[in-house]
Amino acid sequence: MAPSKWPWGETEVVATDLLRSRVHFNEFAVSDVTAKHYRSLESVMRGFGHEWIDVLKVDLKGSEFATLLAIIADHTHELPLPFGQLILTVNIGASEDLKTVAQFSEWFTRLECAGLRPYYFEVSMMDVNNRRGEPGVAYWSFMNIRGTHALVDDSLPEYP
């Protein structure tokens, strides 16, 4: 099967056969428990027999806040979250439960208490440049500082 073409490049994640078995891309609807078709991150991982995700990219169009809180609530405080890095697309103003600075602060504090530390932030200027409107999307990247994984532990073996 040929990779899809996008304006910014190929969607083929890995070009070498050596690493192809270690890199996978799947689209799933992971949501909070109030959704009609609720699937937790844990249930999706169990279905594939996985215990760990190196990079989790989340774009939930307004449900990112409730869904991330559900992912955090699914885990006991003794165990780290099951991913090393979180790449999050936040759709500004799309969530009814996060309209104030105080609500955002509480949500962000919960992420930090779960071991997620922000290391990158960018406001998308697409709406500003194309529609002459307010910015509608922000991108956040978080590193999970808990657990033993390649981002926080130099003693792990090198992989080809």
The string of pLDDT tens digits covering residues 88-122 is: 888 776 667 777 888 888 888 988 989 999 999 88
**Residue found by looking up tokens 């609720």 in the block:** 38
pTM confidence score:
0.71
93: left (phi over 0), alpha (psi -120 to 50) or beta: left
Spatial CB neighbours of 150, under 8 Å, sequence gap ≥ 6? 54, 84, 156
- Strands (E) across 36-82 are located at 53-59
Give residue-wise pLDDT tens across range 13-67: 555 676 667 666 666 666 655 556 667 788 888 888 888 888 888 876 777 777 7
Q: CA distances (Å), 20 to each of 16, 24, 25, in order?
A: 6, 8, 11
